[in-house]
Structures are given as structure tokens and as C-alpha cells.
Amino acid sequence: MSIRAVTFDLWDTVLVDDSDETERRKKGLLPKPQQRRRLVFELLKKHAPILKEEVDAACDAVDRAFNHDWHENNLTWTVARRMDRLLAVLKRKLPQDELAELVRRHEEMELAARPDLAPGVREALHALHGRYRLGVISDTIFSPGRTLRRILEEEDLLGLFEAFAFSDEVGASKPDRKMFDAAANQLGIKPEQMLHVGDREKNDVEGPQAVGARAVLVTVVKDRRSGPSKADAVCADYRELPRLVDELNAGEE
């Protein structure tokens, strides 16, 4: 089938992960991992004495559990679930309004200093827009789909996309087929008519190919390859992406 839509991973594909840390330093802000733990510690300390080491140890345990579910079960917890697990480990409770505010501050931390766009991705998206339908398929860790939409909106890119499959909204994470099916359904196409662009072999190449879609491995931000890729094409420069998509599409005509 010919390609009718192109979907994109976000982190290290459209957005450069942790590139906001330079701006955070300029603003006198802690790195995000430290800031998240500081928020929990300061809030709990208001209600009863607690050691920072206790919070750090609990965060480490919850991080390990989260990563196990993410990598082994294709699930990413919401921040609310993550905070519930953290409080359970610490055997602490918080008033609902304070807990909700803690969750919100975690979820919107990426808005304090936006991540950079991958070099050339804006131009590539505009070159593809109108010729192919565009979508986003992205796992979410601390920044939920709501926040990621705001980042794209502030970059004046949101309107280019017609479909959004975020793991916190779908209830599964890549490479689970639910993520790719969700995007295809929103686009009104079959997965076989979709090409996915991303930076991870398992999630962004093997995942879409398992549902019949094609895949382009992007190495613009990071080249994660440890061997040959199974991707239909590899893109090291976003100036080449529109041509690669057209060539893959021409091969189906």
C-alpha cells in the first residue's frame, strides 16, 4: 500500500531530550531530576520531619519499578500513579489539593525551559505537510500528552499534526501495537499506509513494522545503533527525509 501518513516519535526525534537543562542553568533552576525530588522533599517536610535520603531512596525504588513496567510490560505510569507509589513507599499521605499541585508541577516542569528542536526537523515537517498526513506517536514519562501538545503549540508545530498517540492517553507504550493502531485510527488509515519516524530500533522500527507500517530510523540527534538496522531507511539529516519518504512511497506504486 502507498504511504498516506508519516508519524513521528518526539524525544530525540523532534525534540532534543534534556536540551532544556542549559536554559534551566541560566535561569538558576536545578536539573529536572533534582528538582523533582526537591519538590517531594519540601512538601513532605512541611507536614512531618523526613530525611532527604529517605526521599531519594524511595524515588530510586519507584524509578526502578517504573522502568521495569515501561521496558518489560510496555506501560508508562501517569505522574499521579507515580506519586501514589512514592507516597506508599514512604508511608506518607498528602492532602488531595497539595498532591494535585505536586503532580501538576512535575507534569509542567518541561514548560519552564522548552527543549530544542532537532536540527532541520521544522523544515522537514513543513515539507511533508500537505503531501502526507502527519501524526505523533510518543511515550510519556513525566511530561504527559497535555504538556507535549503545549510545547508543540509554542513551537508553532501543533497544527501540522492530525493525530496524537501518547502513552499516558493510550494506556500502552511503544512498541505495543495499541500505540500505532491509535494513530492509524485517528488518521483514518490502515497501519500499512503509515510510515513512522523515530530514533529507537525496538520502539520506532520493530514496533511499527510489526503492525505492517514502514519505519525510518533517525540518527540526527543520537545514533543508537549497535549493529545493522532493520529500518526501511536511515536518516542522518532531516533535509533528506522528504526524499526518503517519497522514494519509499514510489516503491509501492
Mean pLDDT of 100-119: 97
Measured CA distances, 194 to 27, 62, 86 (Å): 41, 36, 39
Q: How far apart are CA 188 and CA 221, in angstroms?
A: 31
> Is the model's pLDDT at 33 over the cut of 70?
yes
Looking at the fold, whether 15 and 26 belong to one and the same domain comes out as no
pLDDT in tens, 166-182: 999 999 999 999 999 99
Residue 158 shares a structural domain with residue 220: yes
Residues 130, 11 share a domain: yes
Mean pLDDT for 88-97 is 97
Average of per-residue pLDDT across 161-170: 98
Nearest to 180 by CA among 208, 160, 201: 208
Mean pLDDT for all residues in the chain: 96
Provide the strand spans (E) within 59-143.
133-138
Q: What is the pLDDT of residue 152?
A: 98
Encode pLDDT of 210-224 as tens digits: 999 999 999 999 999
Whether the pTM exceeds 0.85: the reply is yes
Same domain, 124 and 182: yes
Pairing of strands 214-218, 194-198: parallel
Residue 75 φ then ψ, to 5°:
-135, 135
Positions of E strands within the chain: 5-8, 133-138, 163-166, 194-198, 214-218, 233-235
For the chain, give the percent of residues with pLDDT over 70: 99
| Alpha-carbon span 132 to 241, nearest angstrom | 13
Looking at the structure, tell me whether residues 129 and 197 fall in a common domain.
Answer: yes
CATH number of the domain where residue 146 is located: 3.40.50.1000
Q: Domain containing 197: what range?
A: 5-19+115-250
- Whether 123 and 246 map to the same domain: the answer is yes
Q: Quick one: 94 and 144 in the same domain?
A: no
- C-alpha distance from residue 70 to each of 129, 203, 241 (Å): 32, 11, 29
Confidence class for position 227, pLDDT limits 50, 70, 90:
confident
Band (225; pLDDT cuts 50, 70, 90): confident
As beta bridge partners, residue 138 has: 166
**Are 203 and 128 in the same domain?**
yes
Q: Are residues 15 and 27 in the same domain?
A: no
Name the pLDDT band for 252 (thresholds 50, 70, 90): low
Q: How far is CA 108 from CA 35, 104, 146, 151, 233, in A?
A: 12, 6, 9, 10, 35
Phi then psi for residue 118, to 5 deg, are: -60, 140
